[in-house]
């Protein structure tokens, strides 16, 4: 393969990579190996076989294909040729009774002519018929192409290609008409023992009629395709305007919608199953984490309980030990000592005998009887020099006991004054009263 042919093939591979259609075998990539001088083309794999295998099976069983299947195959290959001949996909049929708009061709480089349509190049995959093997004959010289085709199967070649004349996309329509004819009759429309006889029959365009059990519309559409005069041959766009093709296209669209919905439903089911598995996994993870947290909390609780029990036992042992060794209460504070120093000491009280007391009986002396020059009581006016009393009248106690003043108002004033005198008598330098001293120093 010279550089020119290799460049042409690479250009055709680029065109094939842009042919994205559900009825065209998809191009994957190509690989050039210079050491072997080989160029490999990788295409979509179709596991359903080709159309020639289907025709062979019906021929061996002496049965004819149902007309509905033939219309379905015919429509799908026409839709693939529509994408090749006009560079765009066929329009969506909204109303089968409306005319379709003629496509606008903006880029002529996207137009592809197959030139080798035959049952061996129509494949079945996932319930769809797909057109494959694009552009292989286009990269060869016309002489080599004719020789190769004659060695193979020249039954589907158009008259202009056989006569080495300029050709158009209508040559694919001739080949497709021959394929559809073979689907009906289970043999090609033109048969001969020699190549010259075959070429003559093709140029004349005379072929036997299809079996009678097929409809007249199918017979008429085949005749529109197998026309020697290229001007009488209908293009792809005009063929798809036929009502039967519109019905088939509408049915294919509905089937595609159903398949897409089914596919979308399967994807949703997969997503739902994934979410269910994810939920279960999260639930298991949460349960595991919850158990770990509960275990950790239980360990912390047990540790705190043990520590608390240890502290309590330690404190109980300490107090029991203090009780066993006879621990004494706390010593009195200096404030308590200062407060107690204001009272007469026990030595100041001597045992006296009153006149009416039996001999040998011991009686404590009263405070008035203990008055000495060293323990003389100060006058009340001197004690209250800075705070004059409410009443300076003093009531001497009688034998019957203490007689309170008759006036309740005076009595309340005297009680308050006596309390103040008592607090002032025991006040120290820090101005702490006896009641505060009592509670602060645990003095009883």
Could you tell me the two tokens for 183? 């689907």
| Residue of 116, 133, 172, 266 marked catalytic | 116
Nearest to 199 by CA among 247, 250, 244, 161: 161
Tokens representing 115? 């030139």
For the beta carbon of residue 169, count every other beta carbon within 10 angstroms. Answer: 17
- Give the three-class secondary structure for 32: strand
Annotated catalytic residue 428: no
Class of residue 82 by CB neighbours under 10 A (exposed 0-12, middle 13-18, buried 19+): buried
Distance between CA 191 and CA 382 in Å, rounded?
Answer: 160
Instruction: Please answer whether residues 377 and 358 qualify as being in contact, where contact means their C-beta atoms are separated by less than 8 angstroms.
Output: no
Q: Phi/psi of residue 350, each to 5°?
A: -110, 155
Sign, CA dihedral 345-348-352-356, equals: negative
Question: What DSSP string describes 219-247?
Answer: HHHHHHHS-SSTTTS--HHHHTTSHHHHH
Catalytic residues: 116
């Amino acid at each position: 393969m010279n550089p020119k042919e290799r460049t042409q093939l690479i250009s055709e591979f680029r065109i094939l990579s842009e042919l994205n259609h559900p009825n065209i075998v998809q191009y994957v990539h190509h690989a050039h190996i210079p050491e072997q001088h080989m160029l490999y083309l990788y295409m979509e794999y179709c596991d359903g076989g080709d159309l020639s295998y289907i025709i062979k099976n019906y021929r061996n069983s002496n049965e004819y294909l149902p007309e509905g299947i033939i219309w379905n195959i015919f429509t799908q290959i026409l839709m693939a040729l529509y994408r090749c001949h006009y560079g765009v996909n066929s329009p969506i049929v909204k109303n089968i009774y409306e005319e379709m708009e003629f496509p606008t061709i903006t880029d002529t480089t996207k137009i592809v002519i197959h030139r080798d349509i035959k049952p061996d190049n129509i494949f079945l995959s996932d319930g769809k018929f797909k057109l494959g093997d694009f552009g292989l004959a286009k990269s060869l010289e016309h002489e080599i192409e004719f020789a190769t085709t004659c060695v193979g199967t020249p039954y589907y070649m158009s008259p202009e290609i056989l006569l080495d004349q300029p050709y158009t996309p209508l040559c694919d329509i001739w080949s497709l008409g021959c394929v559809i004819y073979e689907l009906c009759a289970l043999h090609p429309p033109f048969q001969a023992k020699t190549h010259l006889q075959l070429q003559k029959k093709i140029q004349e365009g005379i072929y036997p009629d299809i079996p009678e059990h097929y409809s007249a519309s199918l017979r008429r559409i085949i005749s529109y395709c197998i026309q020697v005069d290229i001007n009488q041959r209908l293009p792809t766009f005009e063929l798809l305007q036929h009502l039967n093709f519109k019905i088939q296209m509408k049915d294919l669209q509905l089937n595609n919608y159903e398949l897409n919905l089914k596919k979308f439903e399967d994807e949703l089911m997969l997503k739902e199953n994934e979410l269910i598995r994810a939920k279960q996994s999260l639930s298991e993870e949460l349960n595991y984490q919850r158990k770990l947290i509960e275990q950790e909390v239980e360990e912390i609780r047990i540790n705190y309980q043990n520590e608390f029990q240890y502290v309590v036992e330690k404190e109980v042992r300490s107090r029991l030990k203090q009780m066993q060794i006879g621990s004494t209460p706390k010593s009195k504070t200096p404030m308590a000592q200062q407060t107690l120093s204001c009272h007469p000491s026990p030595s100041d009280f001597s045992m006296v005998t009153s006149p009416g007391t039996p001999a040998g009986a011991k009686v404590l002396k009263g405070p008035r009887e203990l008055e000495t020059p060293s323990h003389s009581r100060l006058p009340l006016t001197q004690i209250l020099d800075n705070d004059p009393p409410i009443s300076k009248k003093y009531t001497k106690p009688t034998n019957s006991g203490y007689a309170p003043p008759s006036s309740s108002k005076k009595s309340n004033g005297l009680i308050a004054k006596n309390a103040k005198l008592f607090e002032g008598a025991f006040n120290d330098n820090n101005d702490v009263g006896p009641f505060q001293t009592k509670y602060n120093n645990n003095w009883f």
